[in-house]
Amino acid sequence: MRNRAIITNVKPLLSDGNHYIKRIPGEEVKVTADIFCDGDDVIRASLVYKSESEETWHEAPMKPTENEQWEGTFIVETKGFYLYRIEAWVDHLATWHHGLQWKSNAGQNLANHLLQGTVWLKKAADQADKSVAKKLKDWLNLMENPSKYEEACKVLLSEEAIQLFGECRLKQFPTIFDKNMLVRVGRPKELFSTWYLMFPRSASQTAGKHGTFKDCQALLPRIANMGFDVLFLPPVFPIGKTNRKGKNNSVIAEPGDVGSPWSVGSEDGGHMAVNPLLGTMKDFDNLVKSAKKSGIEMALDISLRCSADHPYTKDHPDWFHQLPDGRLAVEEVPPLNYQDIVDLNFECEDWRSLWDEMKRIFLFWAEKGVRIFYASTPHHQPFGFWNWLIVEVQSAYPDVIFLSGAFTRAVIQEELAKVGFNQSFTYFIWRNSNKHDLQQYVSEIINGDISEFVHPNFFTNTPDILPSYLADKGENAFMLQYALASMIGSNCGVYGPAFELMYNQRFPGSKERYNHSEKYEIVQHDWAKQNRVTDFITKMNKIRKDNPAMHNMFNLTFTGTDNDQIISFVKATTDLKNIIWCIISLDPQHNRTAHVEVPKDLLGLRGKWFNLEVTDLLTNETYHWFNDWNFVELRPDQYPLHILKLEI
């Protein structure tokens, strides 16, 4: 084996090549590795890549950074999969030329060294393009003619030669690191989206009336005008009657109680039917089409849970967990006690048929035009199932997005992202009141290894979670929560009416459950109401949409402040044509002041005099900052933040 280069510690490399990293078109892929060899010869390395639809591989040179680490980059331009590998080799041409310079500086005669170099120049000329090959052959003629010794030395030690030998690569006996490394390039919405969650049955504007898909359709202009581009619906399927839950998760339902949408299945059908109280399948189709015309995509919670009345329980009882006496096991897990749910057994003897049926559900709704699916408890199904399912569904519909709703241990959340979930719920919902904790958490996301495969979605609240930060609080706290979610996260969302109308009452004795939760009853919302929160959300969403710097989370850089209640960060496009500086007070009750530090390294201002023109996009006020640290004041009765657009 004549390949002498060693390639180790390659990043990113997920699960030894068993999983892929994620990007959207136009993003950069940076690959690093430790590359070295025996002796003191010169090493070269390349990042070799192509899209799955291409036949020709592209080659991008890697460069040494520090110690033995090398780095290379390439840009993904089209959706689909890209393949990449690393090649490294000892470059005898570069080694020879390095020796020529060293011996010349030492005053040695170079005749023998020139003769040795003819071998490497001939080989390099065979690999080079025509113009470089011609130049190398001209130099060979000089090197092979003893009477041209002085001229050859002069030419080969010239700046032109130093540049050419620095760029020309003689590749022989490369070591190839290829572990099926893949990049999945998805559509931009995987990285930038703004979600509005609502229960269709609460969409009616008539008191006491069960909402319908048509009522949702009537609300689309309102949702679109607020700047949301994803309408997120809980399960819309028929709801079971056996062990139906009552209001506030009561284990006994009263007459007229509508039950939990997550208890799927009745005599009206299962996961490929709609709750008749919501309307018809045609009504749903019309909602999807109308939403699309309004610039809104539908996201649907496909709850892989069943009621005891689901058709599957009769047709395939072996698909479920069963007690020794043959009864179906219910999910009696405190404190929520899901007695209205019987769980599918993804390890049952007939698991392949079960998995195929689950795939059929997703493909059914994808055919209806749904391209975003939410899994509320994906950590309760096998990772292998999700890996297989997502590959199968995206093979048929490549633009489908899967959102993981797993609020669980970090290692589980990360594994779900690795197996294919395009977006993931995060701990943001609990990490927003302490500056140090929030900055540390966000830094782990944007700078850690998970940045290669996790696209976070920062929701302010969910039907299951009324954050303690919002409980019993007023509009200032709600505005602050949305400021943090929408400015830090490029994907963000709200459990809509409960958030914008500031529902803040917890169920007695609970830490974060809503009182009179919509999960178990119809709630009459005042859909015509506008307040500071709705106006603020509308402004924030417009700012997000209008500024490309906000379409990414991984371009965020924290900046210094002298107040622990004020957090400051900058987002910028790679070309610095759009720069947004957010300065947010974490105190919703009191006025706060601080000095904030200009990120001179990020902006290329280190060692330079500068005049920063900053315009607050919320107030349209413009300031000029000349100093390294500049004064700001935040008044929560106005806005909890400054959103400054920078002009350098």
CATH number (domain holding residue 174): 2.60.40.10
The 10s digit of each residue's pLDDT in 52-109 is 999 999 999 999 998 899 999 999 999 999 999 999 999 999 999 999 999 999 999 9
Residues contacting 293, CB < 8 A, separation 6+: none
- Does the pLDDT value for residue 262 go beyond 80? yes
Residues 364 and 229 in one domain: yes
Distances (CA, A) of 607 to 374, 571, 600, 603: 49, 22, 8, 11
Mean pLDDT of the region 242-257: 93
Domain assignment present for residue 122? The answer is: yes
CA distance 210 to 333: 30
Q: Beta 230-233 vs 193-197: how paired, if at all?
A: parallel
Residues 198 and 159 in one domain: no
Distances (CA, A) of 82 to 176, 207, 420: 17, 53, 15
Residue at token pair 């696209």? 455
Q: Which helix or strand (DSSP H or E) is residue 425 part of?
A: strand 423-425
- AA identity, residue 517: S
End-to-end Cα separation, the chain, in angstroms: 55
Domain assignment present for residue 39? The answer is: yes
Do residues 404 and 416 touch, judged by C-beta distance below 8 A? yes
Residues 245 and 302 in one domain: yes
The 10s digit of each residue's pLDDT in 281-327 is 999 999 999 999 999 999 999 999 999 999 999 999 999 999 999 89
Quick one: DSSP state of residue 642? E
**Mean pLDDT over each residue of the chain, to the nearest integer:** 95
Domain assignment present for residue 170? The answer is: yes
Residues 207 and 110 in one domain: no
CA distance 399 to 186: 7
Domain assignment present for residue 324? The answer is: yes
Domain assignment present for residue 257? The answer is: yes
Percentage of residues in the chain with pLDDT exceeding 90? 94
Query: What DSSP string runs through 545-607?
Result: HH-GGGG-STTEEE--BS-TTEEEEEEE-TTSSSEEEEEEES-SSS-EEEEEE--HHHHT-TT
What does the H/E/C string look like for 171-207? Answer: CCCCEEEEEEEEEEECCHHHCCEEEEECCHHHCCCCC
We report the CATH number of the domain holding residue 624 as 2.60.40.1180
Residue at token pair 């850690």? 448
Q: Closest Cα to residue 236, out of 365, 340, 338?
A: 365
Least confident of 250-254, 284-288, 291-295, 531-535: 250-254
Quick one: DSSP state of residue 369? T
Sign of the dihedral through C-alpha 472, 478, 481, 485: positive
Residue at token pair 């069960």? 210
Q: Indicate left, alpha or beta for 67 from its phi (over 0: left) and psi (-120 to 50: alpha).
A: left
Domain assignment present for residue 314? The answer is: yes
Residues 535 and 612 in one domain: no
Beta bridge partners of 285: none
Domain count, the chain: 3
Q: What is the pLDDT of residue 336?
A: 64
Residue at token pair 């997502």? 390
Residues 571 and 627 in one domain: yes
Residues 320 and 343 in one domain: yes
Mean pLDDT of the region 616-632: 96
- Does the pLDDT value for residue 431 go beyond 90? no
The 10s digit of each residue's pLDDT in 574-593 is 999 999 999 999 999 999 99
Q: Which of 495, 522, 547 is where one domain is finished?
A: 547
Q: Which helix or strand (DSSP H or E) is residue 331 part of?
A: strand 330-331
Q: What is the pLDDT of residue 528?
A: 94
Residues 235 and 349 in one domain: yes
Q: Beta 401-404 vs 372-375: how paired, if at all?
A: parallel
We report the CATH number of the domain holding residue 380 as 3.20.20.80
Do residues 125 and 138 touch, judged by C-beta distance below 8 A? no
Query: What DSSP string runs through 13-79?
Result: -BGGGTB-EEE-TT-EEEEEEEEE-STTPPEEEEEEEEETT-SS-EEEE-EE-STTEEEEEEE--SS
- Does the pLDDT value for residue 599 go beyond 80? yes
Mean pLDDT of the region 263-277: 98
Q: Which of 156, 185, 214 is where one domain is finished?
A: 185
Residues 118 and 224 in one domain: no
Residues 204 and 180 in one domain: no
Mean pLDDT of the region 101-122: 94
CA distance 365 to 382: 22
- Does the pLDDT value for residue 138 go beyond 90? yes
Residues 179 and 209 in one domain: no
Do residues 550 and 490 touch, judged by C-beta distance below 8 A? yes
Beta bridge partners of 72: 31
Q: Closest Cα to residue 229, out of 196, 186, 267, 202?
A: 196
CA distance 409 to 387: 19
Beta bridge partners of 89: 44
Give the CA dihedral 394, 399, 403, 409, nearest 10 degrees. 60
Per the model's pLDDT, the better-predicted residue between 1 and 190 turns out to be 190
Domain assignment present for residue 1? The answer is: no
Domain assignment present for residue 374? The answer is: yes
- AA identity, residue 162: I
Q: Which of 167, 185, 203 is where one domain is finished?
A: 185
Residues 161 and 199 in one domain: no
Q: What is the pLDDT of residue 208?
A: 84
What is the span of the domain harbouring residue 47? 6-185
Do residues 308 and 243 touch, judged by C-beta distance below 8 A? yes
Query: Is 291 exposed, middle or buried, given 0-12, 13-18 or 19+ CB atoms closer than 10 A?
Result: buried
